[in-house]
Amino acid sequence: MPYTTLIWAAELAAWLGDPSWVIVDCRYNLVDADAGERVYRAAHIAGAQFMHMDRDLSGPKTGANGRHPLPQLADIIATFGRAGIDDSKQVIAYDQNNGMWAARLWWLLQWLGHPAVAVLDGGLDRWIEEGRLVTTEEPQVKPATFIAEQPTPTASAREIVEHLHDGALTVIDARVPERYRGDVEPIDPIAGHIPGAVNRPYTTNLTAQGTFKPAPQLREEFQTLLKESPPASAVHQCGSGVTACHNVLAMSIAGLPGSRLYPGSWSEWIAAPERPVARG
């Protein structure tokens, strides 16, 4: 059975060196976009290759499509092919600790019909805490042919606007509470949130140890958030469509499939002045 949500460090360690597994280091820093690649070169899990959030896992910005727009299909298919990913490969994504960046790769592969992808729970921090080795050696990657299936549906700004007042969608904002409320906005030019959105910071999915909460606990929390609405009504957003993937992953862990990502998220929403903004 493939791993489709999470994998523990001990489980990954047992598969290191298997040619049917592809390990990807997704570390990133919003303040210093090249920091992830630098720390990858300094130390990473053996066999891991690096994917950059901006160059590999996002597409060109137009000023109206958010800070981390989805890649063009041809580009992301080529990226996955260069990484040696095809339908025979188990993919493992990791970042430094909480999965906020690794979840983006997880979501992209799921979006294109590759279910055999999982996030390393606890990331590189947990890997090192358990005494497992890291290396500076970069792997020799054999390219493959990645064949994408029809992308699964995402949500759009237009759809959210159409349903702002009818309760058909439950928009879930993954940002920290102070950004959701509009108290502060360190990144985007306008503070606040989409009217009607509920706040669930992605860190709410984690235990005090930085690993994901057990599936039954996540299920209870999301069902409470959704009230009587089905999981398919959930639309996840954040600042740029990256950390929102963490909530998509958490709902999948919880056994609540069918929620969707709003890829453009807040940074796209505010690019059109006619879209309403709420605060508080």
pLDDT of the residue at 153: 97
**Is-contact 68 240, C-beta < 8 A?**
yes
Maximal CA-CA distance, the chain: 54
Average pLDDT, the chain: 97
Name the pLDDT band for 1 (thresholds 50, 70, 90): confident
| 8 A C-beta contact, residue 53 and residue 142 | no
pLDDT at residue 22 above 90? yes
Residue 135: DSSP 8-state:
B
CA quadruple 60, 61, 67, 72: dihedral positive or negative?
negative
Structure tokens at 108: 């992209």
Is 238 assigned a catalytic role? yes
Reported as a single tens digit per residue, the pLDDT across 76-105 is 999 999 999 999 999 999 999 999 999 999
Percent of the chain at pLDDT exceeding 70? 100
Q: From start to end of the chain, where are the E strands? A: 6-7, 21-25, 48-50, 90-94, 117-120, 170-173, 198-199, 234-237, 260-261
Give the model confidence (pLDDT) of 185-208 as tens digits. Answer: 999 999 999 999 999 999 999 999
Catalytic residue among 22, 234, 235, 238: 238
| 59 has a pLDDT exceeding 90 | yes
